[in-house]
Amino acid sequence: MIEIGNIFMQRYKILGSLGSGGMANVFRAYDLILERDVAVKVLRSNFQSDELAIRRFQREALATTELVHPNVVQVYDVGDENGVQYLVMEYVKGMDLKKYIKEYFPIPAEEIVRITRQILSGVAIAHEHGIVHRDLKPQNILMDEEGNVKITDFGIAIAASETSITQTSSMLGSVHYLSPEQARGNKATSLSDIYALGIILYEMMTGKVPFDGESAVTIALKHFQENLPEVSEINPEIPKSLENVVLIATSKEISKRYPTVAAMSEDLASVLSPARVNESRVSLGETKTIKKQFTKPEKEGFESAKEQNDEDLLDQQIINFYRRGKSTKKIAAELLLPVDQVEDRLRLLAKKGKIQYPKKNGKKIWVISAIVSIVLILIIFLILLGGSPKDIEVPNLKDCTEAEAREKLSKLELDVNKIIDVENTDVDKGKVVKTDPKANTMVKEGRKIILYISSGVKKIELKDYTGKSFDKVKEDLVLKGYDSQLIVKREEANEDVEEGSIIRQSLQEGEKVDPTKDRIVFTVSNGSNLVTLGDYKGQFLNNVKSALHGLGLKESQIQVKYETDTKSSAGMVVRVDPGSGASVNKERGKVTLYVSDGKVTIPKGLQGNSEMNAKLALEDAGLNVNSVRENSDSVSKDYVISIEPSSGQVDLGSTVTLKISNGSLSSSSSSSSSSSLSGGH
């Protein structure tokens, strides 16, 4: 059993719990060999004898070890220790996407696109290995302190070829992100992952899932019966182009979804371009309730129907790409088909009247031909007048001011088209970052050049962070673009500020700083400087010292004084100053330990006392007593004649000898004579 503080596998020191899932517990640990934080995932004890659970856990390990990608949590170690299935993973310090959405909603569209494309990049590597995640949801997507995405929990991921263990009768994964085909009990595919990604994208844009209900069954039914609520009604700031990505990814008809996550990522790359932000809402021709999807095919002719469905799916994918302006070569590359096969399908689809191939527009062709003819005539005319325009190489204008750039272009018979301001950390404000066309490109004289001028780094206005969690403040600043290396933490003891919270900051509220250059130092509380003393009386000196060191007290703060105590053994603490429960400053406080020296003083006044009283006094002092008897004319019978040793100090537990009187010798003789006479009479 794993416990906090234990060392697992003689290598991983368990530091704390990171959470618990349906099958496994996850702990934060420290790798003592490689000196780094890791996450240790262990199959829960009630599943250790469940073969299906073990196979599923091992499948996660095998699936994830194949995936080496910056957006997938890396697995370092996998094994079985005394029947305990475990895997050791990369530790991601940060939060999951679910918490991120809750804390930062509304999220800017640019950030949504950035996060989603990182998720798609991680999922793409899994799909390339034939692995379908099957449980994509914000809780399984981690965000590190730099804002980077890490996909985790491939616990129900399955290689596409492992159909023998696919449970088509049960709904695996989280129902809020479940594709319609999974909800109906069909096999999950890479397109099922794309559907889940569409739901995640919807949640980032709106702050909530599209379908909810009182039970899992209710939610599952909504996935294939209802259309998604419009994003614009919840968050009007989201452009239609981004909403369209969600609509395509979450199409209830598999054939109308993106064929690959790469295609989805490619579409996302341009959604925020000015040409697309106001595009029309995409229509996929879906009805609100799709009852036909519940109809089961008859056994007879089922295989031919399946083949027909596969062919229809291929045709629909080709049509979607074609209508979006893809060339036959690009369509072939996307679908991994020969170009001639794509061309044959396009011709067949044209015969069926589904598309126009090749695209024809008589009027447009006539206009284009006319324009080409006019251009050719003009070129010939210019050549006849004095030759064609000269070829000129665009100069490298980087780091030039706008005035300098205009002057250089003018000398080369080039002109400035427009100025575009861009944020840039490498080029000073007001200077050229780049040109369009690029430097060293050959253009014709008179060409207008676009200048991209640096507006510098966007500065961040600081807030008053005192009293707030340092980890949370750092996370917020990094997400705003602050270089994490410039955020410095210095710890200081403080009795008034909670541990981990900021006491003060080097740059004050309202200051506008350069997040790439300006260093900010936070002084952070590491807790109170006071420690509470325990009850150390009756414990041995070395044990008490160890306990005080454990509280943070140094040897120089501990004073030891020896004294005689008749009740305590040598080296045992008799009393402490200050006493039990007292608070001591662990930097400046002093503690005095009074320790028994193990000595006992021989009690006085025992000579001439009764044997019984003398014994009691000596035993109470912690001494052993040995009595010897002898006749004495001066000391009464059963009284102490002498003590050895008679005074001074001896070790606790030492033996003291008492000489006890038997009375006088004459008294003894008289007693004997009397006894004899009495017997003779």
Write a three-state SS string for 33-79: CCCEEEEEEEECHHHCCCHHHHHHHHHHHHHHHCCCCCCECCEEEEE
Q: How far apart are CA 570 and CA 654, in angstroms?
A: 13
Structure tokens at 644: 């050895």
| CATH, domain range 530-597 | 3.30.10.20
User: What is the dihedral angle through the alpha carbons of 416, 419, 424, 429, rounded to the nearest 10 degrees?
Assistant: 90
Supply the residues annotated as catalytic: 135
Ramachandran class of 85: left when φ > 0, alpha when ψ lies in -120 to 50, beta otherwise: beta
Following DSSP, what letter does each residue of 527-549 receive, concatenated? --SEEE----TTSBHHHHHHHHH
Structure tokens at 474: 């750092």
Q: How far apart are CA 159 and CA 56, in angstroms?
A: 12
CATH topology for 7-90? Answer: Phosphorylase Kinase; domain 1 (3.30.200)
State the alpha helices, DSSP H only, in 301-420.
Answer: 302-323, 328-335, 339-351, 362-386, 402-411
- Residue 679 vs residues 307, 333, 515, 670: alpha-carbon distances, Å: 137, 139, 122, 14
Task: Provide mean pLDDT across the span 500-529.
Answer: 89
Structure tokens at 80: 């079985």
Q: Which residue has the tokens 């099958």?
A: 23
Cα angle value 58/59/63 (rounded, 5°): 120
pLDDT at position 672: 47
Element (H, E) at 220: helix 216-225
Strand arrangement of the beta sheet that strand 24-31 belongs to: 7-8, 12-20, 24-31, 36-43, 84-90, 75-81
* Closest of 179, 215, 222 to residue 197, by C-alpha: 179
423-470 pLDDT, tens digit each: 776 788 889 989 988 888 888 888 889 898 887 777 888 999 999 999
Task: Provide mean pLDDT across the span 597-624.
Answer: 87
For the cut 70, the answer to whether the pLDDT of residue 652 exceeds it is yes
Burial of 654 (0-12, 13-18, 19+ CB in 10 A): middle
CATH for 600-667, options being 3.40.50.300, 3.30.470.20, 3.30.10.20, 3.30.930.10: 3.30.10.20
Here the contacts of 356-362 (C-beta below 8 Å, separation 24 or greater) are 357/322
Residue 18: pLDDT band by 50, 70, 90 thresholds?
confident
For the cut 90, the answer to whether the pLDDT of residue 65 exceeds it is no
Q: Are the CB atoms for 440 and 393 separated by under 8 Å?
A: yes
pLDDT at position 257: 93
Decide: helix, strand or coil at residue 640: strand
Any idea what DSSP says for residue 644? E
Sign of torsion, CA 499 504 508 510? positive
Q: Are the CB atoms for 654 and 623 separated by under 8 Å?
A: yes
Q: Which residue type is seen at 29? A: A
Q: How far apart are CA 92 and CA 335, in angstroms?
A: 36
CA distance from start to end of the chain: 93
pLDDT at position 299: 34
391-405 pLDDT, tens digit each: 889 999 999 998 899
Question: Between residues 421 and 65, which one has the greater pLDDT?
Answer: 421
Residues paired with 94 in a beta bridge = 144
- Residue 34 vs residues 11, 28, 30, 38, 290: alpha-carbon distances, Å: 9, 15, 9, 10, 56
Q: How far apart are CA 266 and CA 282, in angstroms?
A: 17
For the cut 60, the answer to whether the pLDDT of residue 188 exceeds it is yes
Full-model pTM: 0.44
Domain 369-454 has CATH 3.30.10.20: yes
Structure tokens at 8: 């697992």
CATH 1.10.510.10 boundaries in the chain: 96-251
Structure tokens at 198: 């569409």
Decide: helix, strand or coil at residue 509: coil
CATH 3.30.10.20 boundaries in the chain: 369-454, 460-525, 530-597, 600-667
Residues paired with 96 in a beta bridge = 142
Count of positions (residues) in the chain? 681
Look at 175-179, 319-323, 533-537, 666-670 and tell me which has the smallest mean pLDDT: 666-670
486 Cα distance to chain centroid: 21
Return the CATH superfamily for domain 96-251.
Answer: Transferase(Phosphotransferase) domain 1 (1.10.510.10)
Average pLDDT, the chain: 81
458-496 pLDDT, tens digit each: 788 899 999 999 999 998 898 787 888 999 999 888 878
Q: Are the CB atoms for 150 and 127 separated by under 8 Å?
A: no
267-302 pLDDT, tens digit each: 999 999 888 878 888 876 543 333 333 233 333 333
94-118 pLDDT, tens digit each: 899 999 999 888 999 999 999 999 9
Q: Which residue type is seen at 560? A: V
Q: How far apart are CA 412 and CA 147, in angstroms?
A: 45
Q: Are the CB atoms for 176 and 183 separated by under 8 Å?
A: no
Residue 373: pLDDT band by 50, 70, 90 thresholds?
low
Please, how many CA atoms are within 13 Å of residue 122, restricted to the half-sphere of its CB? Answer: 24
Q: Given this structure, which CATH class describes domain 460-525?
A: alpha beta
* Closest of 664, 628, 620 to residue 644, by C-alpha: 628
* Closest of 265, 108, 243, 244 to residue 193, by C-alpha: 265
Decide: helix, strand or coil at residue 368: helix
Residues paired with 39 in a beta bridge = 28, 89
Q: How many helices (H) and strands (E) does the chain have?
A: 18, 31
pLDDT at position 204: 95
Cα angle value 61/62/68 (rounded, 5°): 90
Max Cα distance, the chain (Å): 182
pLDDT at position 48: 64
Please, how many CA atoms are within 13 Å of residue 312, restricted to the half-sphere of its CB? Answer: 10
Can you give the C-alpha Rg of the chain in angstroms? 44
Task: Provide mean pLDDT across the span 71-98.
Answer: 85
Residue 56: pLDDT band by 50, 70, 90 thresholds?
low
pLDDT at position 161: 37
Task: Provide mean pLDDT across the span 139-159.
Answer: 78
